[in-house]
Each structure stands twice: as structure tokens, then as C-alpha cells.
Amino acid sequence: MYPVGTFLCAATSAAGGGYHIMKAVILVNPFLSTEREFYQPRRIAEELKARGVRATVLANAWVTSVGRTGRADILSRNYDFCVYLDKDKYAPRILEAEGMRLFNRASAVELCDDKMLTHIALAGKVPMPETYPAPLCYKAGSAAEDAKAIGDALGWPVVVKECFGSFGEQVYLARDGAELAALSERLKLRPHLLQEFISESAGTDMRVIAVGGEAVACMKRTSGQDFRSNLACGGKGEPVAPTDEVRAIAETVSRTLQLDYCGIDLLFGREGMLLCEVNSNAFFGGIEEVTGVNVAGAYAAHICREIAKF
């Protein structure tokens, strides 16, 4: 007899028949250290266990040994699926090559990791601020003139974002050509983008958590001291109900990027909401506190619906 509530799936082994208890590996960044950072994997593990799935949290290390598959083949032999909470984009590809289903999928992690790729994938599908990839300069010289021409076209100030960044730390505002030239010089070897500044949204945005394409939690974030409203930049959250417009954006983003789970940042534009960025591994501790929504439970429920299709 299996414990009540154990997630059973029809066995696919050569022996045929019988049932198999589903096992999940939750992969996290190997450098997590604080209790707050471990909150997310711990809660997902608890919610999966509550649904009868055996869940183990492991550091995302030693997976990425191409050719000799390192731990990837061991993981795929020992676990039925993986909840991937890291941002590294190589391990997911290697795990998928070993036949493992990842939540989120490798392609979704890649498209969200790079803000410019996210923009390109969603262009024409959801409203977004006007955005250009910044010219990169790999040799002696400067891309500042080209960047200034883009700034003139967008209007000042201009938002400058490194394509890879989090917590608002790699997001800047260039008020004029001189500030943009200084940023261009500093970032000339790193992929970055130039974006229309949405002045109506300065210091405020909306964070939406989407699970299986559905907006399950939503908060407005406001910072009195910075145009960036990330909680890490001093933003404070308040719960809001997702409107039909917000629900439709969450659905389109999730479907287009094939996301099981994501955090979506939206800006308040003059004519409606504008997509700012999509996080495939958004932390949910803050939004759970603000809204009271059990995001971990919603995600575990979605995962169980998906694995029932295996």
C-alpha cells in the first residue's frame, strides 16, 4: 500500500504494470546561503511532498560536463522531472538532452535570462517600450556616437539595461548624451539594450506571478527614492487584483515563451500596461507576504497536472 495522497504514475518499465512514485529533483544555485534564499526550494519541496511527490533539493553543480554527462545522466536516471530554480542556462540543455522534463524548460530559461531575447521573442505579441540592442564595440574605439543616435530617437532620458541582470542592479538611466557615452564606454563589451523611459511609471511597476499561464498573484511596487521599483531597490509592495489586461499579457507571455512559472514586470504606460521583463526563476517570498497567495502551492499543483500527462 502507498501512503494516502502519494502521486502514482503508471509504470513505463519493461516489467510493465505496477506503479511508480514520482521523484523530483529541485536544482538551486550552488551559492545559496541564507534562509531567505532557501525558502523557495523548501516551500516547493513541501508542496510537492503534500501531493505525494518525493522531492530532493540539490545544488546545481557538476551537471554541466558535456560529452561525459557528469551528473546529468545520474539525475535523469534517478528523478522523473526537475524543478529548475537556477539561472544558469547550460545545465537545462544538458538535462533535457538526457530526456528530463524541466520546470521551466531550457528554452524558456534562455529566453528570459537575456532581456533582449525576451523582447525579440515577444515583439508584436504584447505591448512593450521601444527597445534597441546597444551597439557593442569589441576593439579600440567607442560605440557612444551610435548609442547617442538611438537615444536621440527614443528621447531623453534613456533606460540602459544590461541584457543579463537582476534586482534592478544592472538597470541605469542616462539623462543626456554625456551620461549615455559614459555608460556605453563602461558596458561596451557587455550585451545591453537602450529603452524608452516610461515616465508615467517612474518608481512604480506591477509584479505578476504566472503559473501555467494564469496570473495567480499580483502586486504594485512603489519606490519613493528610485525610478526602479524592485523590492531590492527600496520598493514597497501592495496587493492588487489582476485586470483582464494583465491576465491576457500573462497568458500570452507564458504561452509564447512556454513558461510553466514566471514573474512578469509590467510598467504603467499612458495607453495601458507595457511589458518590462520576464523572470523564469522569480523569487516568490516577497509577493507571498504581500498578497497572502500560496505561490508554491499553485506551482506544485501545476507541476502535478503536467506530470500526470507523462
Ligand X SMILES: Nc1ncnc2c1ncn2[C@@H]1O[C@H](COP(=O)(O)OP(=O)(O)O)[C@@H](O)[C@H]1O
Residue 68's Cα: distance from chain center in Å? Answer: 29
Using CB distances below 5 to 8 A depending on partner kind, what does residue 53 bind out of Mg ion, ligand X, none? none
Counted residue by residue, the chain has a size of 310
**Residue 53 or 231 having the CB closest to ligand X:** 231
> Is 192 among the residues that bind ligand X (CB under 6 A)?
no
**Residue 277 or 288 having the CB closest to Mg ion:** 277
> Is 205 among the residues that bind ligand X (CB under 6 A)?
yes
Q: How far is the CB of 149 from Mg ion (least distance, A)?
A: 27
**Residue 64 or 104 having the CB closest to ligand X:** 104
Axis-axis angle for helices 106-113, 90-97 (nearest 10): 170
**Residue 52 or 127 having the CB closest to ligand X:** 127
Report the C-alpha gap between 2 and 25 in whole angstroms: 21
Using CB distances below 5 to 8 A depending on partner kind, what does residue 86 bind out of ligand X, Mg ion, none? none
**Residue 174 or 267 having the CB closest to ligand X:** 267
Q: Which of 6, 56, 107, 166 binds ligand X (CB under 6 A)?
A: 166
Report the C-alpha gap between 222 and 263 in whole angstroms: 17
Residues 212-251 that bind ligand X (CB under 6 A): 227-230
Q: How far is the CB of 235 from Mg ion (least distance, A)?
A: 10
**Residue 97 or 233 having the CB closest to ligand X:** 233
Residues 239-298 that bind Mg ion (CB under 5 A): 265, 277
What are the CA-CA distances from residue 43 to residues 133, 214, 252, 284, 297 (Å)? Answer: 37, 20, 27, 10, 8
Report the C-alpha gap between 66 and 264 in whole angstroms: 32
Using CB distances below 5 to 8 A depending on partner kind, what does residue 165 bind out of ligand X, Mg ion, none? ligand X
Q: How far is the CB of 161 from ligand X (least distance, A)?
A: 6
> Is 73 among the residues that bind Mg ion (CB under 5 A)?
no
In this structure, the dihedral spanned by the alpha carbons of residues 201, 207, 211 and 215, taken in order and rounded to 10 degrees, is: -60
Q: How far is the CB of 230 from Mg ion (least distance, A)?
A: 6
> Is 129 among the residues that bind ligand X (CB under 6 A)?
yes
Stretch that binds ligand X, among 74-82, 85-93, 196-204, 290-298 (CB under 6 A): 196-204
> Is 267 among the residues that bind ligand X (CB under 6 A)?
yes
Instruction: Decide if 61 contacts 30 (C-beta within 8 A).
Output: yes
What are the CA-CA distances from residue 231 to residues 42, 265, 309 (Å)? Answer: 22, 12, 37
Q: What is the chain's Cα-based Rg?
A: 21
Instruction: Decide if 286 contacts 86 (C-beta within 8 A).
Output: no
Report the C-alpha gap between 122 and 129 in whole angstroms: 12
- Residues near ligand X (CB under 6 A) are 129, 159, 161, 165-168, 170-171, 195-198, 201-202, 205, 227-230, 265, 267, 276-277
